[in-house]
Amino acid sequence: MHRSGTSVAARLANLVGWDLGNQLLAPRADNPKGFWEHAGVFEAHEQYLRAVHCTWAHPGTAAEILSDKSALRDLGSRLAAILQRDLKGERIAVKDPRACRLLPVWNDVVADLDIRPSYWIVYRNPREVARSLLQRDQIPLSQGYLLWYRYVSEAERATRGARRAFMDFESLLTDWRSAMRETWTTLGLPWAVPEIAVQAEIERFIEREMRHHHGGDAPERDALLTGLALPAYEGLRRGGPAGSEISAVMDELTQRLNDYDAAYEAIRSQWARQNAELAAEVHALRHSTSWRLTAPLRAAATWWRTII
> Tens digit of pLDDT for each residue in 50-107?
999 999 998 888 989 999 999 999 999 999 999 999 887 888 999 999 999 999 999 9
pLDDT of 199 strictly over 60: yes
Which residues lie below 8 Å from residue 26, measured CB to CB, with a gap of 6+?
A: 34
245, amino acid identity: E
236, amino acid identity: L
Residue 209 banded pLDDT, cuts 50, 70, 90: very low
3-state secondary structure of 166: strand
Give the model confidence (pLDDT) of 164-196 as tens digits.
999 999 998 899 899 999 999 999 988 888 888
Position 161 scores a pLDDT of 93
Report yes or no: 2 and 97 within 8 Å, Cβ to Cβ: yes
221, amino acid identity: R
CA distances from residue 100 to 44, 155, 279 in whole angstroms, order as listed? 14, 5, 40
CA separation for the pair 108, 129 (Å, rounded): 30
pLDDT of 264 strictly over 90: no
Mean pLDDT within 127-145: 91
Q: Which residues of 143-174 are buried (b: 16+ CB within 10 A; e: fewer)?
A: bbbbbbbbbbbbbbebbeeeebbbbbbbbbbe
Query: Is the pTM value of this prediction over 0.75?
Result: yes
In this predicted structure, which of 101-110, 206-215, 221-230 has the lowest mean pLDDT? 206-215
DSSP label at residue 225: I
CA triple 156-227-49, angle to 5 deg = 45
Angle between helices 195-205 and 176-187 (to 10 degrees): 120
Domain ranges of the chain: 6-215, 244-308
Q: Look over the chain and give the mean of its residue pLDDT values, rounded to a whole number.
A: 86
